[in-house]
Amino acid sequence: MKVSRSADYKVAVGVVEGKIYVIGGSDEDSQVEVFDSETQTWDFEEKAKFESDFWVSMKQKVYMVGRDGRVSIGLMWFNTKLKVWTRVVDRDGKDGKLELYSFAAQKMEEYEGNIAPFWPLANTDRTKNDLICKLIALDRVGENIRGRIEWSGIAAA
């Protein structure tokens, strides 16, 4: 690998089309490195730098909740052909951020083929520790990946 990784930073690993993608794990923006098992070589995807702490690998894709500083820019997937992060579009094929613009994700997991971001419920009662979750189903439409919120609610209290 060209970028040293540290346990102090979040890292994601996913297999896409037989190649191993390693994302994050350093204090730099979320750099992407790709290991080609056939040639036994590492490639560095310069265009892929992005800021995120939350990743999940599912269905031959790597996803993240991206941000620019403190502003959420929505659910993104890594386009291996263009070597760039691409925003998941809403069910109508529009760039609607899947109603994810209003939260600061604390964790993201794969759950039964869906993406499940979690974040704390903003409330004035500091004694509550409610955790909100959205289950997002994904499907491919042409060159886009479309997301549909299947469920949203309190996952833990």
Model-wide pTM > 0.85 = no
Residue 69's identity, in one-letter code, is G
Would you say 85 and 74 are in contact if contact means Cβ atoms under 8 Å apart? no
Six-digit token pair at 121? 């419920």
Which sequence spans correspond to the domains of the chain?
Answer: 11-156
Which three-class secondary structure state does DSSP give residue 22? strand
Residue-wise pLDDT tens digits, 94-138: 665 565 544 566 788 899 999 998 877 776 666 667 888 889 999
Q: Are strands 61-68 and 41-45 parallel, antiparallel or unpaired?
A: unpaired
pLDDT of residue 35: 93
Return all residues near 46 (Cβ < 8 A) that are at least 6 apart: none
> Is it the case that residue 33 has pLDDT exceeding 90?
no
- At the top level of CATH, the class of 11-156 is mainly beta
Residue-wise pLDDT tens digits, 47-76: 556 667 677 888 888 888 766 555 566 788
pLDDT of residue 30: 62
Percent of the chain past pLDDT 70, that is, above it, reads: 67
CB atoms < 10 A from the CB of 60, how many?
11
The residue-averaged pLDDT of 25-52 equals 76
Tally the C-alpha atoms within 13 A of residue 149's C-alpha that lie toward its C-beta: 13
Six-digit token pair at 67? 């941000």
Closest among 50, 60, 63 to 136, alpha carbons compared: 63
First to last CA, the chain: 41
Percent of the chain past pLDDT 90, that is, above it, reads: 13
